[in-house]
A and B are shown apart, each in its own frame.
Chain A
Amino acid sequence: MFKIILVPESILQLFRICSRSAFAVIFALLLINNSAIAAPDGKALFQSNCASCHNPLKDATGPALQNIDKTFPSKEWGYNWVHNSAAVIASGDKTAVDIYNKFNKAAMTAFPQLKNEEIDAILKYVDDFKAPVAAAKEPGTEGQPAESNGFLYTIITLSLLVLVVILWRANQALMRSANEKSGIPNEKEIPLYRNKVVIAIVAIVVFIMSGYWLVNGAINEGRQQNYEPLQPLFYSHKVHAGINQINCLYCHAGAEKSKQAMIPSTNVCMNCHKQIGEYTGEKDHPLVTAEGKTINGTEQIKMLYKYAGWDAAAKKYITDEKGNIKATPIQWVKIHNLPDHVYFNHSQHVKVGKVQCQRCHGQITEMDEVYQFAPLSMGWCINCHRQTQVQFDNKYYDIFQKYHDEIKSGKRTGVTVDELGGTECQKCHY
């Protein structure tokens, strides 16, 4: 009795202390957060605007950006260049014309929408950028699943079972000899394999196990987690999205607009690869397939040229008599396959839900060859819908007055997808 009262008391104490300190922490966090909102995020801006043509450290379509601001005649010149480089070149500025000529007269896209402080933020980010240190691979550690206790428990259970059987047998033997001693007649000994109890138990266990195995197998039918097919081109997401930090949406532009994220057409590849004709990163990041075969990156780019109909020597597209580019689509092997009766919309998740690509696709920036990270099972979808809170500040959700009231009154902190009907059948099946 005493204990029961005491425990909540102490918890209450603890809670008070915690809540006080939590308040302070949250307040501090808010302050930090606020300042974070105020300052432009250089990394994000770089990735969404610059990364498709620039690398911080290496020349790409455009020059390496690290410390490039030091080469500008003035800060103002830099802003003008970014806002409209063509105008600066047209004005006959020597620095501008030199850069223009150095990079094969490829004009830089104008970014009139970027504010000066945003440009500063980008420059600060690239100046501070450090080459990611390739993690020294220790053989044996990578790819191993996390140490689990399951094996240990199995051994313990099995040994305990053996112990039970031994003890039971010993008990039986002792009983028999005791009976013999006291003259009570023993029942005829039945061998284990003819013991009906044992047969029944074994039958039940086998039935349950096979049932479990069957059902599990049936449920997993058609699922292909970790599927990593061979693709027609060795396209490394790690090189593009990881090392070169190209924004996912640059190539997968549909992710914000459509149900399909879209695989880019070859002309999107050629936006950069008109300039980048060889893979120069072998030293830092050699390309190796899952089977251990080394891949020549430059050869792969040449294959891309074949698909895209690009004449690398003449630096122009090969066209037919009507002026159409002779390009052929690349027949990628589809990795993420949903059944036909499932409706999935990328834009709903990326644009409205603001879900990171990695949440479903895994550490894509670390994958040379992409594999299916998530099981894409209905349970997996539903789980996320149950746990994830929607962006409730979206004006669309104004109609849910009840939840807004509850948030205001502190009754809830947010609204999950599930609470808005996100686990109903006809949200995905129609």
Chain B
Amino acid sequence: MSQKQYWTDLEQLNNPAANQEVLENEFKEDLPFDLSGTLLGASTPRRDFLKFLGFSTLAATVVSSCEMPVRKAIPYAIKPEDIVPGVANYYASTFVDGGDYCAVIIKTRDGRPIKVEGNEMSSITRGGTSARVQASVLNMYDKARLRFPGSPVAKDKKVECQEATFEAIDRVIKEGIAAKPGYLLTGSILSPSTKDVIAQFLTKFPNVKHVVYDAVSYSGMLQANEACYGKKTLPTYHFEKAQTIVSLGADFLGTWLSPVEFAKGYSKGRRISAKNLKLSRHYQVESNHTITGAAADHRATCRPSEMGLVAIALYNEVTGGAKVSGLSAKLSELVSKAAADLKKGGGMVVCGTNDVNTQILINAINDKVGANGTTVNWTTTSNYRQGIDSEMVALTEAMASGQVGSLFMHGVNPVYDYFDTKKFTDALSKVPLSVYFGERMDETAQKCKYLVPDHNYLESWGDAEPRSNYFSLMQPGIAPLFKTRSFQDSLMVWMGSTTNYADFWKQYWTNKLGGQANFEKALQDGVIEPAGEVAVGGATFAGNVNDAIAKIQGKKASTGTEVLVYQKVSIGYGGPWSNNPWLQEMPDPITKATWDNYACVSPKMAKSLHAELDGRNEVDSKKLVITVKGANGYTANLPIVVVPGMHNDVIAVAVGYGRVESVGRAAASDNATGLGGRNAYPFTTYNGVNIESFVAATYTATADKYDIAITQTHLSYEHRPVVHEFTLEEFTKDPKVLMKERFAEVGEFAEAPLVEEGKESKEEKIADAKMEEGYRENGTLYPNYEYNGIKWGLSIDLNSCTGCGACVIGCQAENNVSVVGKEHVLKNHEMHWIRIDRYFSGTPDDSDSIQTIFQPMLCQHCDNAPCENVCPVSATNHSSEGLNQMAYNRCIGTKYCANNCPYKVRHFNWMDWNGADCFADNIYEDYRRDDINDDLTRMVLNPDVTVRSRGVMEKCTFCVQRLQEAKLSSKKAGHPMKDGAARTACQQACPSDAIMFGNVNDKTSNIHKLRREEQAERTFYVLEHIHTLPNVNYLAKIRNTELMNAKDEKNDGFYNDHI
């Protein structure tokens, strides 16, 4: 039963006439001429014709009268020995952003970083990356970065940095620092050498204290761990070893702690095949809809304030205690099932709440089910977060009472993200010496006295210790672009140190590793890790469970609506990411919305707000704006986005939006219009111990509408089935179930040759690999083309794919894919070469019934491609390696190909996005996305890929520049190409190894073995029956659940009651 009822959005389920109309009209806006009636009868055809004629003649004349410009070829004066112009260099380094960690390789071309890849030598992130890691290279070239030290001054309603010398600032700080008690306020620091420098700094200035503050706090977990195990630290989670995963509100695949690491581990447990029918089981309880919830086998929702209650219920089930009342039926059922599975062993419970008592209970459950020492590791601990909320609150109090003489802030932005912004801002103004190390004029920078900007991580020396005894070194890919100074150097100058940090760092590691040779090896590898497997060990649980339960139950149960503050997979906690146009335009995995934040509400809540179809469905981009009033007094007007799977009483709002103008053009928000979203941090509350990410709230509809640019509905398959999904039970019972379905569809073409071979029974025929070949040859009137040599193929495992979007940004960075801006996303003009389609199934009204599936969609490189046949100038055609080629310089922009593509993967350049046209001043500007065309920002472009100009079509090339490079290096070395030598950008970026790529003609290649042997049973091609013969295959999703949302009469396209 792989064909359950899927819908991209509510209106598709409902399918009103308006939706049909939108879908049929692929190109939204009207053509600029009047075509009413006959052409000649129209009002202005002759004039238009003459205008165009005149323009083209003029343009041709101008172009032909142009003289060829004189170009210069300027070599190095003294060529650095290790740089060959035109050949990329790779440096192992470390991505660190607050507590977020990823081991990376920096690709530099002619001395400038252009791409960041995962470092496969790290046993933590194992070569995986996230969307933010991929986008981090653009942050370095951010135009809004501070270019020199100085002080903020207000100038024409803007705040600018007035330049000062480092020496002048150093003098002031050295004088002021010892006068009164001071504080060093930082985010979580993973770097051991930096901690060393800070320790020296604190020794030198004994009246300075160090406080760690995380915008998104894990203080509840840290304190619970201290209470239970005596360690104020986080354990290491081994998702790859877990057979049962229970997550209470932890979005561990998207935003929780270390998603890249967890996605790597998690996907290992999800890789099922007919030969190895083992699949982990994943239960998710959450309030909003996250990608972790989408991946889950069983999912139920609750209010954020009820999470403690769910933990108690689970604890009681595991220990055989009394049932907890007050939970929904589905939730109780899920909890008892989860408890039963956990008791079998090999389980693990994680929880995203910041409540100490709930986390104590979670620890207790993990202890009871034997997770400690098997899946939860207390021997090797994690350092990702170290901030304790109460310390930050105490600091703010001290500042407010005027006790603080100096404040040094690094890696934090409390004026923006503290729960009580006003209090902190007022308190900050009472600090006589406030110094900020931030890289831009953000909210906190504006309120500080001195700005001493730090380097970007791609310009820095450094290190990290993400796990105890697991180290990672950071080396720069480029010399600092601006007059910045590393944070550590600043501290060292102020404490009067004679060395600089780079030398100190080198000495630190040379000593620690025992010699220059070891140091150089470590620098080259990027990581230093203990040999062998990760040491896994437990810990003795000493928490007071009864006290925790009593405290949780002591809180008043909430019955009304709650606002949940969450992080988007793309923008995260905000910070510099808010001003990254790549991330701003990356569709959110679940809502598929770009460029704004909004209030995610359930269909039921939407109905209570508005009875009419328009305003909250996705056909019309104009969303109803509601006023959300938090119990803490914070009010925000937000447009609503209807998300099936949201709890009916929860409004979810993402952080990272509502930034001040000086953060950058892409991030800047406009309070009056709501452009750029609203700040959601003030919805967080402090409960006396911790900052909680939710608050009770009320909401009312306003008369306003606001445009939200959502991409999912832009392209339609017209209800053709594209994904296949089975329950584990179905698949176990008959692993050939998908093969049979495929055979039923295309088998008739394959039968003749098989019968000739004497294969009679259907079973034999189905299993035979010749089915595909038979269909290829007999399903068409065209002659069959023989592919000698290489034939490229790509495979995507829908079971592993988490929808995180790393591939989208990886592709964007590799292939110079343009950002088009919100206005044009609204017009369906987004350019992403790979998009992740999201399909819901279930009853929209019942948030617990929603099952969500992701399908990355890219050019399928069809061997019988519909786009190729219709191109009037043969700009798109097929290569002998199976690539669907696109010659930009040949394309005349008829868009026939995009029209004829059944997968809707072709994108047209409606505007000159990047100044690639030959006409000057033709570039499209909307004052939000255009920072990407700064001379500085353009340094990020990949010189091996053409920047497309206006009027041409583009699409995925299978990263042909990488394929050519891999072939060339094999040719130069004079050996056959090795499997895995050529990798696509999406494949390399993927943290869950869902994408495989290679030469399918090579019988020993992984991709060939995957399709024909290991995963033959799960392999399918999208729209196989139309004989496009794609070179991209998918592996069907197998969910470890009994329940599948069947194609049922009641829900089958008749969902009218609630819309």
Contacts and interface: CB of A to CB of B under 8 A. Distances in A.
A71 B122 CA distance: 61
Nearest to B87: A258
Contacts of A427: 879, 964
Nearest to A425: B887
Interface stretch (A95-103, A170-178, A340-348): A340-348
A396 B944 contact: no
A266 B77 CA distance: 5
Given A396-B967, A399-B790, A421-B880, A430 B960 contact: yes
Contacts of A426: 879, 883, 885-887, 957, 960
Contacts of B75: 262-266, 329-330, 332
B329 interface: no
Nearest to B948: A341
A166 B754 CA distance: 78
Contact-residue bracket for chain B: 35 or more
Contacts of A402: 788
Nearest to A399: B789
B977 interface: yes
Contacts of A399: 788-790, 976-977, 1001-1002
B881 interface: yes
B889 interface: yes
A262 B85 contact: yes
B946 A421 contact: no
B155 interface: no
B64 interface: yes
A304 to B, nearest CB: 12
A352 B969 CA distance: 9
A46 interface: no
B987 to A, nearest CB: 18
Interface in A217-259: 217-218, 221-222, 224, 229, 253-254, 257-259
A330 B73 CA distance: 9
A429 B79 contact: no
B975 A329 contact: no
Contacts of A268: 79
B880 A334 contact: no
Contacts of B972: 347, 351-352
B68 A394 contact: no
A345 B972 CA distance: 12
A331 B72 contact: yes
B805 to A, nearest CB: 24
Contact of B72 (A309, A334, A394, A420): A334
Contacts of A262: 75, 84-86
Contacts of A341: 888-889, 946
A223 B961 CA distance: 26
Contacts of B64: 217-218, 221
A403 B976 CA distance: 15
A398 B975 CA distance: 8
A187 interface: no
A351 B972 CA distance: 7
A266 to B, nearest CB: 6
B76 interface: yes
B975 A396 contact: yes
A430 B788 contact: no
Interface string B68-91: 101111111111000011110000
Given A229-B70, A257-B84, A259-B86, A395 B975 contact: yes
A339 interface: yes
B752 interface: no
A374 interface: no
B393 to A, nearest CB: 49
A325 interface: yes
Nearest to B879: A424
B179 interface: no
Interface string A314-349: 000000000001011111111001011101010110
Contact of B888 (A332, A400, A429): A429
B974 interface: yes
A265 B890 contact: no
A418 B207 CA distance: 76
A403 B86 contact: no
A230 to B, nearest CB: 10
A390 to B, nearest CB: 9
B970 interface: yes
Interface string B833-847: 000000000000000
A429 B961 CA distance: 9
A267 interface: yes
A327 B76 CA distance: 9
Given A263-B73, A426-B879, A254 B84 contact: yes
Looking at B76, B877, B881, B957, which has the most chain A CB atoms within 10 Å of its CB?
Answer: B76
Given A420-B880, A429-B946, A329 B86 contact: no
Contacts of B535: none
A325 B78 contact: yes
Interface in A383-416: 394-396, 398-403
A186 B479 CA distance: 94
B611 interface: no
B39 interface: no
B153 interface: no
A309 B77 CA distance: 9
Contact of B974 (A267, A394, A401): A394
A260 interface: yes
A111 B630 CA distance: 80
Contacts of A257: 84, 87
Given A229-B70, A262-B85, A430 B945 contact: yes
A421 B883 CA distance: 11
B18 interface: no
Contacts of B883: 426
B28 interface: no
Given A224-B68, A260-B86, A266-B77, A429 B788 contact: no
Contacts of A260: 85-86
Contact of B71 (A259, A337, A347, A430): A337
A333 B73 contact: yes
B1009 interface: no
A275 B615 CA distance: 81
A340 B915 CA distance: 13
Contact of B76 (A229, A265, A343): A265
Interface string B854-887: 0000000000000000000001010111010111
B881 A421 contact: yes
B788 A327 contact: no
B199 interface: no
B70 A396 contact: no
A352 B972 CA distance: 6
A341 B886 CA distance: 12
Nearest to B874: A425
A41 to B, nearest CB: 21
A351 B968 CA distance: 10
Contacts of A309: 77
Contacts of B790: 399
B473 to A, nearest CB: 27
A263 B945 CA distance: 23
Interface string A24-45: 0000000000000000000000
Contacts of A331: 72, 74
Given A260-B86, A329-B77, A424-B885, 5 more contacts: A257-B84, A265-B76, A266-B75, A327-B78, A425-B886
Interface of B: 60, 63-64, 68, 70-79, 84-87, 788-790, 875, 877, 879-881, 883, 885-890, 944-947, 957, 960-961, 964, 967-968, 970-972, 974-977, 1001-1002
21 contacts: A221-B64, A257-B87, A258-B85, A262-B86, A265-B79, A266-B78, A307-B77, A329-B75, A331-B72, A333-B73, A337-B71, A347-B968, A395-B975, A396-B976, A399-B976, A400-B789, A420-B880, A421-B881, A425-B879, A427-B879, A430-B946
Give 9 nearest A-B pairs by CB, closest first: A258-B86, A327-B77, A421-B880, A426-B885, A334-B73, A425-B887, A265-B76, A260-B86, A265-B79
